[in-house]
Amino acid sequence: MRILLVEDEPTLRAQLRAGLQDAGYVVDEADNGRDAQHLGETESFDAAVLDLGLPVLDGLSVLKRWREAGITMPVLILTARDSWHEKVAGIDAGADDYLAKPFHMEELLARLRALIRRAQGLASPLLRCGALALDTRSGRVTLDGQPINLTSHEYRLLSYLMHRPGSVVSRTELTEHLYAQDFDRDSNTIEVFIGRLRKKLPAETIETVRGMGYRLVAPP
C-alpha cells in the first residue's frame, strides 16, 4: 500500500514516515501544498495523510482541488487539538477522517487501515480468501491457521490483492501502488514476486488473466 504524507514540520514528518514504513507502507512525501496537489493528481496512492497548516497552499485548498479533480483516495487530515472548525471544514471539503495533534502513531495507523478497508468495501480488519487470512492489524498471514512467512515485498503484494478480492489488478497498478515515486520501477519485478508468492500459497490462489493482470481467488 502506498501513502502520500503531507506535513511541513520536518521532525514530525520524519517520525510519521518511519512509523508508516515500519507498518509496511510505501511512503511519498510533500512539505508544501503545491507539491502535494501535484503528487495527488499525477501519482496513484491508497490514502493520504494531510496536514492542514501547509505553506504555499493550505491543506484545505489542496483537498478541495483533489476532490474537484475527481481524486477519490481516502484522506486523513491532521488538525490542531482545539480547532473544531478545521475538522468541520475538512470533512465538508471531502476528508474521510481527522486526527488532532498530538496523537499516538498507533491511532493514526488504525484509522488509516480502516480508511483503506472502507475504500474497498471491507469492514473487518481480518481479510480472508478461502483458508488464507491476513490480519491488517498485526501483519500476520495464515493458511488454515498456520503462519506463512513472507518478505516485506511479498506481504505488500499479497495485501494489495487481498484488499481487492476477485478483481483483476494489472502489473502497472501493482507497480504504482507498491513502489514510491523515486524508486526505479520495473513491472517485471512484479512477476518475480508473484512467482514467489505462488510457491507459498495454494495452487490457483493467484490467477493470471491473460493480457490484463492478476486476480486473487479462493481455490476450490
- Domain C-terminal end among 64, 87, 119: 119
CA-based torsion, 87, 15, 148, 2: positive or negative: positive
- Domain C-terminal end among 119, 139, 174: 119
In degrees and rounded to multiples of 5, residue 142 shows phi and psi of: -130, 155
- Looking at the structure, do residues 92 and 196 belong to the same domain, yes or no? no
- Looking at the structure, do residues 115 and 132 belong to the same domain, yes or no? no
- Looking at the structure, do residues 108 and 158 belong to the same domain, yes or no? no
Question: Residue 165's pLDDT is what?
Answer: 86
Question: Residue 166's pLDDT is what?
Answer: 87
- Looking at the structure, do residues 57 and 141 belong to the same domain, yes or no? no
How confident is the model over 157-175, as a mean pLDDT?
Answer: 92
- Looking at the structure, do residues 16 and 105 belong to the same domain, yes or no? yes
Domain span at residue 165 reads 126-216
Structurally, the chain folds into a number of domains equal to 2
pTM score = 0.87
> How distant, in Å, are the alpha carbons of 60, 135, 136, 165 from that of 113?
22, 11, 7, 17
For 160, other C-beta atoms within 10 Å of its C-beta total 18
- Domain C-terminal end among 119, 139, 159: 119
Q: Residue 205's domain is classified under what CATH number? A: 1.10.10.10
Q: Residue 50's domain is classified under what CATH number? A: 3.40.50.2300
Question: Residue 188's pLDDT is what?
Answer: 74
- Is the pLDDT at 81 greater than 90? The verdict is no
Question: Residue 137's pLDDT is what?
Answer: 92
Strands 168-169 and 146-147: unpaired
Strands 47-51 and 75-79: parallel
